[in-house]
Structure 1
Amino acid sequence: MSDSVPQRRITDPRVLNGLAQPVRQRLYRLLCQFGPATGGTLAKRLGADPGQVSYHLRELARNGFVEDVPELARDRRERWWRASPGSTTWSFLDFTDPEARAVANLAKAQMVIDEFERLRHFEQSRETWSEDWRRAVMSSESFLRLTPGELASLTGELLAVLTRWSEATRDRPIEEDRSAVSVFFHAFPERDA
Structure 2
Amino acid sequence: MSEEMPTSEVTAPATSIDALRVMAHPARIRLYELLVHHGASTVSELARRSDLAIGSVSYHLSQLHKAGLVMEAAEEGTDRRQHWWKAVPGGLQWSPADFVDSPSHRRVSSLAQQMFSERRMERLTQWLHTWDQWPKEWLNAAVETDTSLELTPDELEEMAAELQSVVRRWSRRTPTGADSSRRRVFTMIHAFPLADDAAADHE
Shift of 1:175: 6.8
Shift of 1:33: 2.5
Preserved CA contact (<8 Å) 1:37 1:81: yes
State the match for 2:91 in structure 1. Answer: 87
SS for the counterpart of 2:85 is strand
Q: Which of the numbers 136, 151, 155 marks the counterpart of 1:150?
A: 155
Amino acid in structure 2 at the alignment position of 1:98: P
Cα–Cα, structure 1 residues 173 and 180, in superposed 2: closer, same or farther, change >3 Å? farther
Preserved CA contact (<8 Å) 1:92 1:101: yes
State the match for 1:20 in structure 2. Answer: 24
Deviation sequence 1:134-187 (CA, Å, 0-9, x none): 221111111111111111111100011111111114x88997422222111111
Preserved CA contact (<8 Å) 1:37 1:80: yes
Preserved CA contact (<8 Å) 1:36 1:83: yes
Q: Matched residues in 2 for 1:130 and 1:66: separation?
A: 36
State the match for 2:165 in structure 1. Answer: 160
Q: Matched residues in 1 for 2:75 and 2:68: separation?
A: 19
Preserved CA contact (<8 Å) 1:38 1:79: yes
Where in structure 1 do 4 or more consecutive aligned residues deviate above 6 Å?
171-175
Q: Which of the numbers 72, 78, 81 marks the counterpart of 1:77?
A: 81
After superposition, residues 5-154 of structure 1 pair within 5 angstroms as 5-10=10-15, 12-95=16-99, 96-154=101-159
Q: Please report the TM-score for the alignment, with normalisation by the length of structure 2.
A: 0.84
Structure 2 unaligned residues grouped into runs of 5+: 1-8
Cα–Cα, structure 1 residues 108 and 174, in superposed 2: closer, same or farther, change >3 Å? farther
Deviation sequence 1:13-54 (CA, Å, 0-9, x none): 222111011101111122222322222122112211111011
Preserved CA contact (<8 Å) 1:24 1:60: yes
Structure 1 unaligned residues grouped into runs of 5+: none
Preserved CA contact (<8 Å) 2:19 2:69: no
Shift of 1:87: 3.5
SS for the counterpart of 1:64 is coil
Percent identical residues? 37
